[in-house]
Structure 1
Amino acid sequence: MQFKLKFRHIAACAALAGNGVLLSTQALAATEGTLLLNRLGPVTSDLYIANADGSDEHKLLADEGFDYHASFSKDGQWIVFTSERAGLGESDLYRVKVDGSHMQKLTDHIAVDDAAVFSPVNPNVIAFVSSRRGAHDFGTTNIWTLNIATGALKNVTANIKFDPSKPHSFFRPSWSPDGKWIALSSDIGSDWRGHNLPVGWERTQESSIYVIRPDGSGWHQVATRTGYDEGSPTWSPDGKRVAFYETPVESTWGAHRPEGINNVSSQIVSVDLATHERSELTSTPGFKVFPQYLNDTTVAYHVKGGDTEGLYTTAGVERATRNTGIRSPRYSYDGKKIVYEKVSFRPARANGTPLFSFDPHWKYTYIDVFPQLSADRKQLVYTEKAINSSIAVVNADLSGYDRVYDASKSGLDPSLVQKGLAGAFQPTWSPDRKWVAFGVGSWFFTRAGGPGKIMRIKTDGSMGSHAEALTDGSVNAGFPSYSPDGTKLVYRVWSEKEKGLRILDLETRKTTELTTGEDNLPGWSPDGTKIVFTRKEVNPTDPNKFHYDVYTIKPDGSDVRRLTTPGSNQGHAVWTYDGRIAYCSGEYGFRDELALYDNSFQPDGQNWVMNADGSDQHAITDTLWEEAMPTYVPNP
């Protein structure tokens, strides 16, 4: 699966001699306007190096760069890492001396390049994960090698057969001690699966461990366990065993959710490559990731998040690291040094933060969730999820901030609001900009336990935060969208007995049933002829197998059309100012092992656009992070 870019990748940065500082040249582009989008991922990420016992900890690099996923060369002189120095979201590979000097950019491609590791027999060769396709395209991830000295690239996993309707990504390469094999994890051959079946729509992951020669031959599986996810393989120094973390597939959901991390665990397992004998090296609570052999019998690992977060070894050494933000620890080959990033998620990025522009005609810019541009293109309304899920209005250039509804006065459970599971969501403009309608209540997987009402409020401030209720709360109602003439609202309802889309006539207050399926996130087209929405499609023989796709329907209930292809999830569709549809898609799969993420929902999601009839579907982002909520704001 791949996407043919419609534009050449403008070189994103130029290196200054000596210190390796990079200058963005994105300002030369963005001729069409601004593309606003939301991203779930770390807000800061800085590399640190320390002794293995934690002493002498210091930043690896003096300047700010949003750097992560580092590892040592065998001689301990170099560190290779991923950085977004070319722009937030654009992940490239770099190497640097362990003292922070002689930084060198190794890759410059619009696709994701990540998780690089040095060959133990040739310090000029690295293996890494990349979603690149040719010189300027991207798709699903593969394992690549790069010869730093010659520039020679090799797609190691290019010829492996796969079912394009199912997951088929490759992650976390690890070299054998003799450099003749690469171990990796892959979800190839697994199924798209939700969590808390049959309820949760966000995907879980089921990966196994494989090995392959650097020339692409010898592909075979060395470890798998039905119903379990295995990841981040590491070789024993004698080359006889591979160790990895293993967890139930369902736990890959809790592993990247703050409310779930204390309720899930993984264990470190090793397999003998000659006999395939499994050995479980741990049996304790805590979500263990990033195993690494320190010698033939001792494996170090990191407990990610939760009450027992810390650095451990199977020999009994442990060091608590809770609330430090440490992620992705990697030890030097002699076990004396350790490198890792420290990440933070709060405070959230400020609205207007520049992001890397995958389409150079548009200036990619961060905004909070559910932004909507007014019909006259003068103002934006959005949900302040980063604060307390209230409703705010700004000018199209993000100036003139005004909070028009304060969710703290809604009576909602503050803990659910803080987690982003309740609040005032999906605001929508009346065409004259005098009103904003929105849903107030509990959403997503908390919707069964809480109410949801459609509300509206005047934007002139005359109502304070005392919004008018348009539905009575007898059924969870939310995610409204105004018709272009301002006379109606379409919204979704959800309960065990009643589901689907409804249209409310604002003059008569009569409600019309539009659909009765598990449909959500409706949006009225700018010309009023169609409503776009997301539909859950369930396998009639197995309720645990389902997917989400983007549909359109006419307001009279006719001409229902599915626009996207079943398989991965496609949803959160919105209309663009020019009548196209922007949406979130998992078409290209995960970019990293799912269990390694934090504070995210569906990190396989990237932003895509298509025409109103479903043609010309193509991605407009390719990052390691969860991308969502695209809104085009054209230049005046």
Structure 2
Amino acid sequence: EEKEPENADIYVKSVGSDKPLRLTFAPELDLQPSWAPDGSYIAFIRLKDDLCTIYTIPPLGGVERKVYETKRAWKSGLNGRLLACTPDSKAIVISESRSPEDPNSLFLFKLKTGEKVRLTSPPAGAIGDCDPVFSPDGRVLTFARVQAGRSVSDLYRIDLSSDLTPVAEPASLTDRMPVRLRDLVGHAWSAEGREIIVSSERGFHSWDFWRIPVNDPQRSTRLELAEERGVGPVISGPSRRMIYVKEQPGIANIWYLEDSGQSKKQAVPTRLFGSTQCEGLCQVSPDGAKVAFESVRTGFSEICVSNSDGSGFLRLTDYNGPRCEFPAWSPDSRWVAYDARPEGQSEIYVISPEGGQPRRITYDPGDDLGPTWSRDGRWIYFTSNRTGAWQVWKMSTGGGDPVQVTQEGGWFTRMSVDGRTLFLGKPPPEWGVYRMPVEGGAQELFLPDGLIDLFAPAAHGYYFWRMKGSGGSVFGYPDGSLVFLDSSTGARRVVTVTDQLPTSVSPFPDGKRIMFSQMGHPTADL
């Protein structure tokens, strides 16, 4: 009897049949199948670490054919397909970048000759172009251009000649849609070629299907189907049927525990809130009295606070659409910094935990993310791509121009308890926690199996959710173990183990209590 595969493989399934046919059996990850329009093959990506190899295989199984190889296809933040077959089945369109700092562009790769032609050139600072889809007549290619690090995107069209050469610059379609938040997760052309069905995020883990008239996007209308959970639409022209993925995301909640300090006695967490909505990215205030976190109780992502025992819930922000993330306390517990994107790009804001009007402190067309305060309260560190690459910057809380801190790449930060060391990560997909002096200097790898988002300095050491996989692996993930690293001895101790997906960790000032957020595993169906 055939064993259940332990990784992703390619399958085909006749509509109405009970059992799918498995096509690939490699130990690597096989992803993103794309049918050739003439039905002669299926193209797919085989992923091993950072190497993406494109193969073709007959639809009913057979010999695989290797056609293309690249290390620059997958990039964090890209939503949707990375490849598509051309209407004549003689070439593929691939999303790829020239270097980790460059945005992904779309290229046409001809299977017979190996010729490669650039189709798009996104601006510096963008994540890049992905999700290529051809119109039914093959004369228009639509694609998603991801503008920002947190997946803000628009749908573009590019007109093509009969030999698939671009005849004009790409033009945006969805910038004229009647919505504030545009985070696209798949699109498909209607059979007659006059409309496009697109999935767009409406709020945290909530998506809507929209019908976009190609020649008049302002007349776009929302489709009432899929119960706010539909992504990745594909339309079968002759049958006028649409297949899509219906996602059921895991619910994120905030928990706390008492760390006994004993290796043989693992702590049992207690849930802080009884909310049925997602709440996470929690941060305990330096005085231990309050906790700041992201919540979607109102239907949209907002920054909220409560007392550390869960009482006294208060919503601080009121954006009603654009996502707010990564709250960070000032050392005196009087202010909360966070990032939000009410104008499209992400900027850093500061607000009182008692409520009131937020104060914007960064102004740049690029994205500014993930604030962290210095221990003396004089600086706010943040991650920005304002130079075209992700680096760590800092800005005086008294005003002035931002100062670039890193030169070799940086992604989010944590400050040591004594305020002398800055911990940071590298831009995704690389992981590992690095450190450098706050005065500046060389970065060194501190924690190879950690992730800066899931790492926190504490009174006598460091707490982190342990990562599983090889360093730099695209698909590394937390193994469920919350580990304490003793700063004086270097010894490690597992504090607790979870079968859910951790999303943050924040110790109390006494170093004996810990607050963290975790999310249930998501599910999806066709």
Provide the TM-score with structure 2 as the length reference: 0.54
Pick closer, same or farther for the CA change 1:46–1:176 going to 2, 3 Å: same
Report if the CA contact (8 A) 2:254-2:280 is conserved: no
Deviation at 1:77, TM superposition (A): 2.4
Task: Give the corresponding residue for 1:305.
Answer: 247
* Superposed counterparts of 1:460-475, under 5 Å: none
Determine whether 1:537 maps to 2:349.
Answer: yes
Residue segments in structure 1 that go unaligned for 5+ positions in a row: 1-42, 193-202, 256-264, 308-344, 346-384, 395-400, 427-436, 454-471, 477-493, 502-512, 521-534, 587-603
Are 2:155 and 1:208 equivalent residues in the alignment? yes
- Which structure exhibits the higher relative contact order, with contacts defined as CA atoms closer than 8 Å and separated by 6 or more residues? 1
Letter in 2 for 1:241: R
Q: Deviations over 1:532-565 (max 9, x none)?
A: xxx9435999768974355573x5x276374744
Shift of 1:174: 0.9
Distance in 1 (CA, whole Å) between partners of 2:208 and 2:336 is: 34
Residue in 2 that maps onto 1:96: 57
1:234 corresponding residue in structure 2: 188
Amino acid at match of 1:94: Y
Relative to structure 1, is the Cα distance of residues 302 and 631 closer, same or farther in structure 2, using a 3 angstrom cutoff? farther
Alpha carbons 1:389, 1:420 under 8 Å: kept: no
Native 8 Å contact 1:391 1:405 kept in 2: no
AA matched with 2:205: G
Distance of aligned partners of 1:302 and 1:110 in 2 relative to their CA distance in 1, 3 Å threshold: same
Which residue of the other structure, out of 571, 575, 581, is the alignment partner of 2:412? 571
Counterparts of 1:91 and 1:59 in 2: how far apart (Å)? 21
**How much is the aligned-residue C-alpha RMSD, in angstroms?**
5.5
Q: Equivalences for 1:192-203 in 2 at 5 Å? A: 203=150
Where does residue 294 of structure 2 map in the other structure?
A: 445
Cα gap change, 1:283/1:58 in structure 2, threshold over 3 Å: closer, same or farther? same
Corresponding residue SS for 1:150: coil
Distance 2:289 2:209 in 1: 41
User: Which amino acid in 1 is paired with 2:369?
Assistant: Y
How far residue 215 of structure 1 moved from its aligned partner, in angstroms, is 3.9
Counterpart check, 1:282 vs 2:282: no
- Equivalences for residues 327-342 of structure 1 within 5 A: none
CA contact (8 A) 2:279 2:293 kept: no
Structure-2 change in CA distance of 1:439 and 1:543 (3 Å)? closer
Matched, 1:548 2:369: yes
The corresponding residue for 2:448 is none
Q: Deviations over 1:333-390 (max 9, x none)?
A: xxxxxxxxxxxx9xxxxxxxxxxxxxxxxxxxxxxxxxxxxxxxxxxxxxxx999876
- Which of 93, 96, 109 pairs up with 1:127? 93
Picking from 130, 141, 146, the partner of 1:171 is 130
Q: 1:517 to 1:571 in 2, by over 3 A?
A: farther
Distance 2:256 2:30 in 1: 30
* Mapped contact 1:584–1:606 kept (Cα < 8 A): yes
Partner in structure 2 of residue 504 of structure 1 = none
Partner of 2:28 in structure 1? Answer: 65
Q: 1:416–1:422: 8 Å Cα contact kept in structure 2?
A: no
SS class of match (1:100): coil
Query: Deviation at 1:232?
Result: 2.7
Describe the shift of the 1:180–1:516 C-alpha distance in structure 2 as closer, same or farther (beyond 3 A): same
Q: Give 1:115's aligned residue.
A: 82
Closer, same or farther in 2 for the Cα pair 1:541/1:438, shift >3 Å? Answer: closer
Q: Which residue of 2 aligns with 1:254?
A: 205
CA deviation string 1:96-150 (max 9, x = no partner): 2223322234443332346211111143x111222x215xx45332222222333
- Shift, 1:79, TM fit: 1.2
Measure how far apart 1:184 and its partner are: 0.8
CA shift in 2, pair 1:205/1:61, >3 Å: same
**Residue number among 144, 161, 180 corresponding to 1:185 in the alignment:** 144
Which residue pairs with 2:267 in the alignment?
406
Is the Cα–Cα contact under 8 Å of residues 213 and 219 in structure 2 kept in the other structure?
Answer: yes
Separation in 2 of the partners of 1:451 and 1:111?
45
- Larger mean Cα displacement after TM superposition, 625-634 or 56-65: 625-634
CA contact (8 A) 1:207 1:231 kept: no
**For the structure 1 residues 608 and 209, does the alpha-carbon distance in structure 2 shift closer, same or farther, using more than 3 Å as the test?**
farther
Contact 1:120 1:179 in 2 (8 A): yes
> What is the distance in 2 between the residues matched to 1:451 and 1:277?
45
Partners of 2:38 and 2:56 lie apart in 1 by 14
Query: Secondary structure of 2:13's match?
Result: strand
In 1, are the aligned partners of 2:187 and 2:197 still within 8 Å (CA)?
Answer: yes
Q: 1:583 aligns with which of 404, 422, 425?
A: 425
Judged with a 3 Å threshold, the aligned counterparts in structure 2 of structure 1 residues 474 and 280 are, in CA distance, closer, same or farther, namely closer
Q: Does 1:220 align with 2:220?
A: no
**Residue 82 of structure 1 contacts residue 92 of structure 1 at CA under 8 Å; is this kept in 2?**
yes
Aligned amino acid, residue 445 of structure 1: E
What is the correspondence of 1:10-159 to structure 2 with a 5 Å cutoff?
44-84=7-47, 86-87=48-49, 90-113=51-74, 115-123=82-90, 125-130=91-96, 132-133=97-98, 137-158=100-121
Give the whole-Å Cα distance in 2 for the aligned partners of 1:405 and 1:142.
Answer: 48
TM-score when normalising by structure 1: 0.46
Distance, in Å, in 2 between the alignment partners of 1:111 and 1:565 is 21
CA contact (8 A) 1:96 1:102 kept: yes
Q: Is the 8 A contact 1:606 1:627 kept in 2?
A: no
Aligned residue type for 1:173: P
SS of the residue 1:227 aligns to = coil
**Structure 1 residues 227, 100: CA separation in 2 closer, same or farther (over 3 Å shift)?**
same
Q: Distance in 2 between matches of 1:631 and 1:413?
A: 22
Q: Structure 1 residues 245, 561: closer, same or farther in 2, change over 3 A?
A: closer
Q: SS of 1:62's equivalent?
A: coil
Pair 223,517 (structure 1): closer, same or farther in 2 beyond 3 Å: closer
- Provide the C-alpha distance between the structure 2 equivalents of 1:518 and 1:386, rounded to a whole number of angstroms: 20
| 1:208 and 1:231 in contact (8 A); partners too | no
CA distance in 1, matches of 2:483, 2:145: 29
Q: Distance in 1 between matches of 2:132 and 2:173?
A: 14
CA contact (8 A) 2:421 2:435 kept: no
Specify the SS of the correspondent of 2:335. coil
